[in-house]
Chains A and B, each alone.
Chain A
Amino acid sequence: MLELRHISFNVDQEGQDKEIIRDISLTLPDGQLTVVTGPNGGGKSTLARLIAGIEKPASGQVLWNGQDITDWSVTDRARAGISFAFQQPVRFKGIQVFDLIRLASGKSLSVADACQYLSRVGLCARDYIDREVNASLSGGELKRIEIATVLARNAALTIFDEPEAGIDLWSFQNLIEVFEQMRADIAGSSILIISHQERILSIADEVVVLKDGRVAAQGARDTVLPGLIGTVSAVPDCRVAETGGNRA
């Protein structure tokens, strides 16, 4: 179980402290799929990075299974079972897809095992296993490989930062299946997804709406979702649609 207690985070903007996350307290129980949504700039990605340890909070505590991990490094958190899928996956010259999946699994892995992870994200393993994770891969391919590496980690908590970004419609259905399969495979594991997508929101156990660095709404999907869908609060593009396609 992950617990955030009174977490705040600031960035320096033109010499002034700007609060990105304001006093957020949140609990992610084991076995729960939580989706964090809300307008752009609301602090969603920052929240994910704070949990992974990539950013350090200005104040507050992060607890993992009751242990204070606020000062733990990214590596220590990863080893303790926290996994993170980047919104914009990183490219590496020379490192092959197989290398990345092997490193993610943390053990010696056969090519056949690694291929299974690729198949699960809809990539023909034979075509990709030896490819370099470099600029020759498209954004969508890279994103799926990112998700495959996270699957290989088999972690107790997996965070996805906008997994749908860069994924085409066909793969999107596949992505939903990946999340559902993950829940089935790793008993008691929890998943945190940052997303704008209604389809992803619809598989959540709990939905958290972040706005201006605060929790604007939180609760069971069936309670929170009806208040979001068709309103202007969640998705800026909906606002555009509602005004007849005119961007303000």
Chain B
Amino acid sequence: MIKLDEIQKRLLREVADLHQVPEGAYNIRSNGQSAGRQSTANIEITPKTDVSGLEIRIKPGTKRESVHIPVVMTESGLTEVVYNDFYIGDDADVTIVAGCGIDNCGNQDSQHDGIHRFFVGKNAHIRYVEKHYGSGDGKGKRILNPVTEVYQEAGSSVEMEMVQIKGVDDTVRTTKATLKEDARLVVRERLMTHGEQRAVSVYEVSMNGAGASADVVSRSVARDSSYQKFDAKLVGNAACNGHTECDSIIMDHGRILAVPGLEANHVDAALVHEAAIGKIAGDQIIKLMTLGLTEQEAEEQIVNGFLK
């Protein structure tokens, strides 16, 4: 394994909670190269031959194992597109931790576009965690444009946790999912933007089988002059249940556009969307001030809690 420097280690901690080499299968990508890779008896990671990226094959029935595939970038001016395909066998139950941390101290933009495809077998269950983090005080932007495609077989369930709290200048996140009968998708997105940052999050979830369900919830905070767009579309092509929610706090000169979309093509498709954008309620701040917090401390507590 290539030795990682302190900045790279810090990025790894931020995006994957990794303090050392993880247990189970992993691939650590650092500045465009593999800094370490390990397969296990049930989880095989192999590099793609045609494009940059990995194939991750999880055997049917694999239980309680994990895969870590974090990416760190510390070279300014690096642009990469990575294609990772996950094949999750029937009845498997695994946790997949991805995520990308960019530290850009230079003047050129650094960009990582991860294209992840998940082929989730029958009755398989995955928990997918993806964290984005940026740091460094260079003028170069930190750009992340992840694309996630999920193909769920009957009875499968996918829980996705997407987190981007700090330091990423520009993001367009696209998530597409198709669900067969009794498949279930749960998405929890947490997002905070600062400064002049821009974050666009687009979801399109098609429920094609009877009994499919999707629950896409985004909680976000837009500070300073940042901009966010949340565009979540649910398509019900069968008897299914869909719910999407965008709950946002707006601060300073932040701007948020929520575009919930529902398309029902079946009489038993039950689809719901909720969207609420507003500043922090004055009585919340006052309540915390009566506990001895300053106005600024109160705001921090409210935002931290909201994004927890």
Which residues on A are within 8 Å of B, measured CB to CB? 52, 54, 73-75, 78-79, 83-84, 86, 89-90, 92-96, 99-100, 103-104, 106, 149, 153
Contacts and interface: CB of A to CB of B under 8 A. Distances in A.
Nearest to B302: A92
Contact of B292 (A75, A89, A94): A75
Contacts of B294: 75
Given A75-B295, A99-B301, A103-B301, A94 B307 contact: yes
User: What size tier do the contact residues of chain B reach?
Assistant: 20 to 34
B160 to A, nearest CB: 19
A103 B307 contact: no
21 contacts: A74-B286, A74-B289, A75-B294, A78-B289, A78-B291, A78-B292, A79-B292, A90-B284, A92-B284, A92-B306, A93-B247, A93-B305, A94-B219, A94-B305, A94-B306, A95-B301, A103-B291, A103-B293, A103-B301, A106-B292, A153-B292
Nearest to A52: B290
Nearest to A74: B289
A90 B283 contact: yes
A149 B247 CA distance: 27
B293 A75 contact: yes
Nearest to B287: A90
Which 5 interchain pairs have the tightest Cβ spacing? Answer: A95-B305, A94-B305, A74-B289, A78-B292, A90-B287
Interface string B10-54: 000000000000000000000000000000000000000000000
Interface of B: 219, 247, 281, 283-284, 286-295, 301-302, 304-308
A89 B281 CA distance: 13
Chain A interface helix/strand/loop/mixed = mixed
A83 B284 CA distance: 15
Contacts of A75: 289, 292-295
Contacts of B288: 103
A90 B289 contact: no
A104 B290 CA distance: 9
B152 to A, nearest CB: 29
A78 B301 contact: no
Contact of A78 (B219, B290, B305): B290
